[in-house]
């Protein structure tokens, strides 16, 4: 017999999801379903035994609510516990979800008929099932062992950069995953090179006290940490058995929770520096290993990018010896061979600091460690991945990262929206070199939110930018003009034309007083005001501003043909609104004549041609 027939479980929505609004600061969550969950004290006792290993435990007595949680929280790493009877219905529908790591089933006293050999056939089909337990305490012991293995071995602890990416690429051409790789490297550099804020540390510790409210073990550790922590003891705290710091930090880096990362910046920089200090006094380490599980897709991604680069998502452990057997959960076994380079890698053997219960010969690498994928091969059912990094790799990556940083500084909107937002929200929390740096970041965030249609957020950040600029420069300084223009454009998008024009006029007046009369930014101001009047329906005033923009373009010592073409295009469009077809046609044809340097298939040329065809029918 194959599998027990399973009934379809319905997924409920908001009424259930509201219950799960709290944040899980750790990497793992236990999802436990039992219809008798709240009717006997036995379950509370078992929960207390689980909590020292995985603090975040979600219990359910209704299968629909359990299913909804599992399928809603995609970024969690879930250990699922349920009765075998429920498992026959639930497991087939969650088995293939990436967030479900291991499934523990136990026999319910109310369903003795299920205790048959058919279980074994069923378990073989669904490899994430650890086994079916008769004894809940035996299940907990197995669970504890699995959690220890998963902390070091689960998932691919690296970000990957496509091998096709070189310093010749513009960041506007890159895929999201490649942008996030470069962003992560730049972010790590800044994180480790800047000083932390004491308020972040205090807020973090308060968060942890609240999060572990009912966990006495962690409360004791948090108080001890707050009282006794020294900067040269970060490693001892990080590798401490079941300490909250490693779990929270790993989750923060994996989920890119910048709020939590900054609250732990002091600890991250201390840990990085301690590894560097230890490294100086240690003998050369020739090779280390990391054994773990990976999905077939992750392995294929590595194979496709041999010669490309990967970067560690967080601090990670390796061993100078090949390690333990892995939990069998349907994933592929992978042995990573790393040839470390002390010129470019921060790493150290941490045997001196480990507890007696921890493995020997462990070597820890810092966050953001870069490697090139040298080879990916399968040998005796185990995938062998070789990583290294040499002088030529360093030269190549330095060029690529420097170009990335330069392009971000020059044109933040080149980055795809979600990546740009990610980047600027992270940067804005770093201690600035001066107030203008933060003002620039706030302005950029305003532009990003505008492009996302988040107009209230856009104006909030733009208003902060103006306030910060005015702390260091006069209120009519040229640096303020682009931000006033941006504020006006946001108001135009919300059809608040009065506020749009107030801010756009501010930008125009600042530019007229500060810039040469033929400067392109003045053309931009006239054009923005012209567009606002056009959208408002005041076509005569719109025409006046577009004509002013054209006159500035024509006065330039080296006229910009594309800008002139755009001015004629806009003027022709307004004449169409005024139904003055001959004037419209004349200006649109002039626009087309000034567009020769633009590719013939460009959207602007295509639009202009279509307008000309329309107007010719009306003349």
Please give the domain boundaries of the chain with CATH numbers for all domains.
14-153 (3.40.50.2300), 158-396 (3.90.176.10), 432-514 (1.25.40.10), 515-619 (1.25.40.10)
Across the beta sheet with 57-60, what order do the strands follow? 57-60, 28-33, 77-83, 100-106, 129-133
Name the nearest CA neighbour of 449 among 487, 417, 497, 482: 417
pTM: 0.66
Q: Looking at residue 287, what DSSP letter applies?
A: -
Q: Of 144-153, 173-182, 199-208, 263-272, which range is least confident?
A: 144-153
Name the nearest CA neighbour of 56 among 261, 320, 247, 341: 247
Partner residues linked to 250 by β-bridges: none
Look at residue 421 in the predicted model and tell me its pLDDT.
Answer: 58
Other beta carbons within 10 angstroms of residue 206's beta carbon come to 12
- % the chain with pLDDT above 70: 84
SS3 label, residue 86: helix
* CA R_g for the chain: 30
Q: Which residue has the tokens 């069998």?
A: 328
The residues, any chain, with a CB within 8 Å of residue 477's CB and separated by 6 or more, are 469, 510, 514
Name the nearest CA neighbour of 159 among 174, 140, 136, 180: 180
Partner residues linked to 292 by β-bridges: 334
Question: Is residue 453 pLDDT above 50, yes or no?
Answer: yes
Q: Which two tokens stand for residue 63?
A: 């299968």
Question: Is residue 601 pLDDT above 70, yes or no?
Answer: no
Distance between CA 94 and CA 103 in Å, rounded? 10
Question: Is residue 17 pLDDT above 70, yes or no?
Answer: no
Look at residue 408 in the predicted model and tell me its pLDDT.
Answer: 64
Q: Rounded to whole angstroms, what are the CA distances from 332 to 134, 296, 321?
A: 29, 7, 20
Distance between CA 399 and CA 87 in Å, rounded? 53
Please give the average per-residue pLDDT across 429-447, as a whole number: 70
Name the nearest CA neighbour of 404 among 164, 160, 194, 178: 178
pLDDT band at 20 (very low <50, low <70, confident <90, very high): very low
Name the nearest CA neighbour of 290 among 319, 312, 269: 319
Bigger pLDDT: 324 vs 444: 444
Other beta carbons within 10 angstroms of residue 381's beta carbon come to 7
Burial class (CB in 10 A: 0-12, 13-18, 19+), 379: exposed
The answer to whether 400 touches 157, Cβ cutoff 8 Å, is no
Q: Of 116-125, 343-352, 460-469, 499-508, which range is least confident?
A: 116-125
Partner residues linked to 348 by β-bridges: 364
Distance between CA 320 and CA 277 in Å, rounded? 20
Distance between CA 396 and CA 399 in Å, rounded? 5
Element (H, E) at 335: strand 332-338
Look at residue 294 in the predicted model and tell me its pLDDT.
Answer: 84
Bigger pLDDT: 61 vs 367: 367
Give ∠ CA 484-490-496 in degrees, rounded to 5: 100
Distance between CA 334 and CA 154 in Å, rounded? 11
Count of helix runs (H) and strand runs (E) in the chain: 25, 14
Bigger pLDDT: 20 vs 529: 529
The answer to whether 527 touches 549, Cβ cutoff 8 Å, is yes
Question: Is residue 241 pLDDT above 90, yes or no?
Answer: no
SS3 label, residue 530: helix
Partner residues linked to 33 by β-bridges: 60, 82
Q: What share of the chain is helix, strand, coil (3-state, %, to 5)?
A: 55, 15, 30
Q: Of 6-10, 89-93, 201-205, 351-355, which range is least confident?
A: 6-10
Paired sense of beta strands 77-83 and 28-33, if any: parallel
pLDDT digits (tens, 9 = 90+) for 499-552: 999 999 999 999 999 998 888 899 999 999 999 999 999 999 999 999 999 999
Question: Is residue 430 pLDDT above 80, yes or no?
Answer: no
- % the chain with pLDDT above 90: 34
Residues in the chain: 619
Taken in order 589, 594, 597, 598, is the CA torsion positive or negative?
Answer: negative
Look at residue 562 in the predicted model and tell me its pLDDT.
Answer: 82
The residues, any chain, with a CB within 8 Å of residue 243's CB and separated by 6 or more, are 221, 237
């Amino acid at each position: 017999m194959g599998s027990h027939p399973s009934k379809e479980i319905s997924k409920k929505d908001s009424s259930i999801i509201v219950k799960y609004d709290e944040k899980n600061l750790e990497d793992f969550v236990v999802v436990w379903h039992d219809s008798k969950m709240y009717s006997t004290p036995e379950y509370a006792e078992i929960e207390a035994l689980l909590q020292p290993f995985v603090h975040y435990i979600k219990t359910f007595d209704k299968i629909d609510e359990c299913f909804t949680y599992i399928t809603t929280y995609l970024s969690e790493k879930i250990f699922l516990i349920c009765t075998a009877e429920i498992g026959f219905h639930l497991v087939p529908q969650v088995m293939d979800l990436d967030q479900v790591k291991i499934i523990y089933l136990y026999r319910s006293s109310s369903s003795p008929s299920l205790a048959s050999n058919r279980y074994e056939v069923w378990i073989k089909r669904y490899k994430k099932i650890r086994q079916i337990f008769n004894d809940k305490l035996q299940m907990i012991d197995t669970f504890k062992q699995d959690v220890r293995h998963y902390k070091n071995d689960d998932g691919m602890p690296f970000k990957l950069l496509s091998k096709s990416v070189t310093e010749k690429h513009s960041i506007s051409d890159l895929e999201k995953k490649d942008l996030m790789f470069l962003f992560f490297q730049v972010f790590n550099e800044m994180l480790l090179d800047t000083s932390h804020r004491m308020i972040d540390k205090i807020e973090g510790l308060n968060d942890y006290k609240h999060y572990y409210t009912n966990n006495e073990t962690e409360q004791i550790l948090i108080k001890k940490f707050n009282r006794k922590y020294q900067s040269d003891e970060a490693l001892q705290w990080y590798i401490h058995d079941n300490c909250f710091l490693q779990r929270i930090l790993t989750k923060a880096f994996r989920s890119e929770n910048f709020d939590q990362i900054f609250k732990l910046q002091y600890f991250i920089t201390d840990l990085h520096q301690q590894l560097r200090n230890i490294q100086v006094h240690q003998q050369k380490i020739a090779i280390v290993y990391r054994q773990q599980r990976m999905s077939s897709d992750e392995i294929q991604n590595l194979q496709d990018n041999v010669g490309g680069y990967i970067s560690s998502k967080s601090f990670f452990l390796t061993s100078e010896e090949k390690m333990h057997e892995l939990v069998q959960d349907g994933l592929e076994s992978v042995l990573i061979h790393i040839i470390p380079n002390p010129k470019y890698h921060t790493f150290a053997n941490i045997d001196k600091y480990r507890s007696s219960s921890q493995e020997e010969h462990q070597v820890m690498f810092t966050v953001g460690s870069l490697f090139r994928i040298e080879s990916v091969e399968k040998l005796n059912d185990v995938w062998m991945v070789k990583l290294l990094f040499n002088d030529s790799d360093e030269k190549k990556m330095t060029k690529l990262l420097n170009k990335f940083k330069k392009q971000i500084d020059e044109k933040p909107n080149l980055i795809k929206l979600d990546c740009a937002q990610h980047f600027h929200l992270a940067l804005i929390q770093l201690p600035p070199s001066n107030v203008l740096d933060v003002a620039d970041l706030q302005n950029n965030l305003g532009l990003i939110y505008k492009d996302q249609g988040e107009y209230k957020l856009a104006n909030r950040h733009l208003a902060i930018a103006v306030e910060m600029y005015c702390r260091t420069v006069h209120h009519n300084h040229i640096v303020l003009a682009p931000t006033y223009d941006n504020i006006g454009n946001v108001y135009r998008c919300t059809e608040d034309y009065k506020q749009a024009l107030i801010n756009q006029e501010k930008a125009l007046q600042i530019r007229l007083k500060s810039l040469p009369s033929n400067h392109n930014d003045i053309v931009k101001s006239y054009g923005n005001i012209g567009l606002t009047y056009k959208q408002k329906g005041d076509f005569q005033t719109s025409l006046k501003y577009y004509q002013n923009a054209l006159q500035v373009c024509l006065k330039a010592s080296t006229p910009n043909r594309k800008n002139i073409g755009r001015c004629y295009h806009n003027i022709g469009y307004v004449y169409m609104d005024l139904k003055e077809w001959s004037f419209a046609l004349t200006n649109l044809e002039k626009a087309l004549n000034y567009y020769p340097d633009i590719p013939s298939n460009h959207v602007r040329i295509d639009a202009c041609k279509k307008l000309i065809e329309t107007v010719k029918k009306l003349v």
